[in-house]
Amino acid sequence: MNKVYPNAVAAIEGIADNMTLMLGGFGLSGIPENSIAALAASGIKGLTCISNNAGVDDFGLGLLLQNRQIKKMISSYVGENAEFERQMLSGELEVELNPQGTLAERCRAGGAGIPAFFVPAGAGTEVAEGKETRVFNGKLHLLEHALTADYAIVKAWKGDTLGNLIYRHTANNFNQPMAMAGKITIAEVEELVPAGTLDPNQIHTPGIFVQRIFQVVNLEKRIEFVTTRPKP
Amino acid sequence: MALDKNGIAKRIARELQDGFYVNLGIGIPTLVANYIPEGMQVILQSENGLLGIGPFPYEGEQDPDLINAGKQTITYTTGAAFFDSATSFAMIRGGHIDLTVLGAFEVSENGDLSSWKIPGKMVKGMGGAMDLVASAKNIIVAMTHTDPKGNSKLLRHCSLPLTGIACVKKIVTDLAVVEITAGGFRLLERAPGVSVEEIIAKTAAPLLVEGTIPEMES
C-alpha cells in the first residue's frame, strides 16, 4: 500500500471534466490550496464543487471560478466574491445554497452510508421547496440527501503515510466530514510523517478514509479579515 | 434617545446567565461578548468549530487557523475545544446551545425571521443561520427598529425570504425590547427617553402595551 504522492499535480491525477469534488475549508481557513492551484493549472472544467464557501476573487476556489472551471457550486455562504456573484446572477454558474449544518451533515452522512436524514433547518423557507417533509415531536423537518464526491480534497495539519490526519484549531471545519465522503480522498498536509509517529489517540480522520496524501509546499495561508488589538 | 449598537449589545448581555453556551451572530451580536458581566462564565460557540472564543489576537499574533464564523482572526479561551463542522452543528441542532443572538432584516409578529437574502440585490447565502434558528431554545434578534429609510423591521408578515419560522423569542432594537407572544409583539422595555408612542408609530404591526413600560437598564 502506498498512499504517498510527491505533490498536488500527481495527487489530483484522475480528476476529469464534469466530476464532483468536495473541498474542505471555511472561508480561506483550512482550504487545500496546493490542490486548488494544481486544479487551476490543469484546465479541468465543468466541475461541481461542494465547498462551504467559494473563496475570494483571487484565492481559493475563486481561482477556479475565474477560469470558468466550475459549473455548479453547493455551498452555504458565498459572500466576499464578486466574480462568483457575477457568474451566479448571469446564470453562468449554477448555485445550490444549503444551510451550513445541513451541508456538513450531508457530507458526513455520505461517508457514513446514511442516504438521507431529516433536519429542521430550512423548514418553511425556500430551502424546503421540493423536499419531502415530516413532523417529529411537533416540529416540521425536511428530508435531506447525503452527498458524496468523485474526489474529496482536504487540508490537514499533520498526516502520516497511512493517511491518518490531525487538523489544527478551526482549520478542521469541513475537512473532517468531507474526508469521509470521497470515492477517493486526497489529503494535503503541512507535515507528513512516517506511520507510528502520530499519537493514535489524537487522530481526527482515520487513514481508512484517505487514499492519497502529500506534503504541501509554499503555503500562503491567506487570512480573509485580520482583526487584532494593540499590545498592552 | 435611541441606543447605539453597543447599547443594544449591552442590553442583550443582561439576558446571559452563568454557565450559558452562547452563539453570537455577525454584527451587533458579536459586540455582546464585550459586556459579559464580571464573574460570570459564558462560553461562546463559533459554528466553524470552536467552543471558547477569546478576544482578537494581539497585533502580529493572528493565526490563519484560528478564525470566527465571520472569518475574523480570534483567540481561544482557557478550556476551549475545537471540532469539525458536523459536530458543531450537532451541538446546534441537538439543542445544546442555551442562547442564540443574531441580526435580521425583518421579524414578523409570529416570530418568523428574514436575514439572508434580498432578491435581486444580495445573495450571500444563509451560512449557519437557518440551522441556528430552527433548533435554538432561545433566540434573541439584535437589530435596528427601522431600516435606513425609516421602514419598520417589525412586521405582521416578513416580505423577504425567510430564514426560519416562528423561532424568535425576543427582539432588542435601538428603541425597545419586544417579546414575541402567542398574541403577537409585546412591548417590554423602551430605550431611555423614547416614548411608547414613538415605538408604536415605528412598529408596522399591533404592539401589546400593558401597564407602564419601564426604560431599559443598561
Query: How many distinct structural domains can be found in chain B?
Result: 1
Count CA atoms closer than 13 A to B207's CA, side-chain side: 24
Whether A203 has its CB under 8 Å from any CB of chain B: the answer is no
Candidates A147, A127, A123; CA nearest to A137 is: A123
pLDDT, one tens digit for every residue, chain A (232 residues): 899 999 999 999 999 999 999 999 999 999 999 999 999 999 999 999 999 999 999 999 999 999 999 999 999 999 878 888 889 888 999 999 999 999 999 999 999 999 999 999 999 999 999 999 999 999 999 999 999 999 999 999 999 999 999 999 999 999 999 999 999 999 999 999 999 999 999 999 999 999 999 999 999 999 999 999 999 8
Tell which phi-psi region holds residue A231, choosing left (phi > 0), alpha (psi between -120 and 50) or beta: beta
Test A124 with B165 for CB contact under 8 angstroms.
yes
Task: Name beta bridge partners: B185.
Answer: B180, B207
Residue B17: count of CB within 10 angstroms of its CB:
12
Test B85 with A204 for CB contact under 8 angstroms.
no
Q: Which residue from B minimizes the CA distance to A168?
A: B65
The letter for the amino acid at A110 is G
Candidates B173, B142, B153, B152; CA nearest to B2 is: B173
Whether B74 has its CB under 8 Å from any CB of chain A: the answer is yes
Whether A51 has its CB under 8 Å from any CB of chain B: the answer is no
For residue A84, tell me if it sits in a domain: yes
The letter for the amino acid at B99 is L
The reply to whether ipTM tops 0.95 is yes
| Three cell numbers, residue B59 | 497585533
Test B131 with A99 for CB contact under 8 angstroms.
yes
For residue A16, tell me if it sits in a domain: yes
DSSP state, residue A232: -
pTM score, whole prediction = 0.96
Strand pairing of B154-155 and B176-181?
A: unpaired
B217 is catalytic: no
Domain at A55, CATH number: 3.40.1080.10
* Rounded Cα distance, A162 and A169, in Å: 22
Whether A191 has its CB under 8 Å from any CB of chain B: the answer is no
Whether B49 has its CB under 8 Å from any CB of chain A: the answer is yes
Q: What pLDDT is attached to residue A222?
A: 97
Whether A65 has its CB under 8 Å from any CB of chain B: the answer is no
* Rounded Cα distance, A78 and B90, in Å: 23
Q: Which residue from B minimizes the CA distance to A90?
A: B120
Provide the residue range defining the domain that includes B58. Answer: 5-208
* Rounded Cα distance, B218 and B206, in Å: 27
Residue in the block written with cell 487557523: B65
Q: Which residues on B lie below 8 Å from A99 (Cβ)?
A: 126, 128-131, 134
- Enumerate residues 134 to 153 of chain A having a beta carbon within 8 A of any beta carbon in chain B: 140
DSSP A40-89: HHHT--SEEEE-S---BTTBTTHHHHHTT-EEEEEES---S-HHHHHHHH
Count CA atoms closer than 13 A to B60's CA, side-chain side: 3
* Rounded Cα distance, A11 and A214, in Å: 7
How many CB pairs (< 8 A) connect A and B? Answer: 188
CB A31 within 8 A of CB A55: yes
Pick out chain B residues at pLDDT < 70: 218
Domain at B57, CATH number: 3.40.1080.10
For residue B215, tell me if it sits in a domain: no
The letter for the amino acid at B206 is P
CB A100 within 8 A of CB B87: no
For residue B214, tell me if it sits in a domain: no
* Rounded Cα distance, A75 and A78, in Å: 7
For residue A226, tell me if it sits in a domain: no
Q: What pLDDT is attached to residue B218?
A: 61
Residues in CB range of B113: below 8 A, 6 or more apart: B104, B106, B107, B133, B139, B141, B158, B162, B163, B164, B167, B168
For residue A208, tell me if it sits in a domain: yes
Nearest-neighbour CA in chain B from A139: distance (Å)? 9
Provide the residue range defining the domain that includes A164. Answer: 8-114+147-215
Q: Helices B85-93 & A100-112, crossing angle to 10 degrees?
A: 120
| Three cell numbers, residue B117 | 437574502
Query: How many distinct structural domains can be found in chain A?
Result: 1
Residue in the block written with cell 474529496: A152
* Rounded Cα distance, A184 and A151, in Å: 5
For residue B218, tell me if it sits in a domain: no
Q: What pLDDT is attached to residue B189?
A: 98
Nearest-neighbour CA in chain A from B171: distance (Å)? 21
Whether A170 has its CB under 8 Å from any CB of chain B: the answer is yes
For residue A17, tell me if it sits in a domain: yes
* Rounded Cα distance, B82 and B147, in Å: 37
Smallest Cβ distance to A105: which of B48, B86, B135?
B86
Beta strands in B57-216 (DSSP E): 76-82, 99-102, 106-108, 113-114, 117-118, 122-123, 139-142, 154-155, 170-172, 176-181, 184-190, 207-208
Nearest-neighbour CA in chain B from A93: distance (Å)? 13
- 3-state SS, B172-216, equals ECCCEEEEEECCEEEEEEECCCCCHHHHHHCCECCEECCCCCCEC
Tell me the residue length of chain A. Answer: 232
Residue in the block written with cell 443574531: B102
DSSP state, residue A182: E
* Chain A interface, best mutation among B51, B108, B131, by max A CB count within 10 A: B131
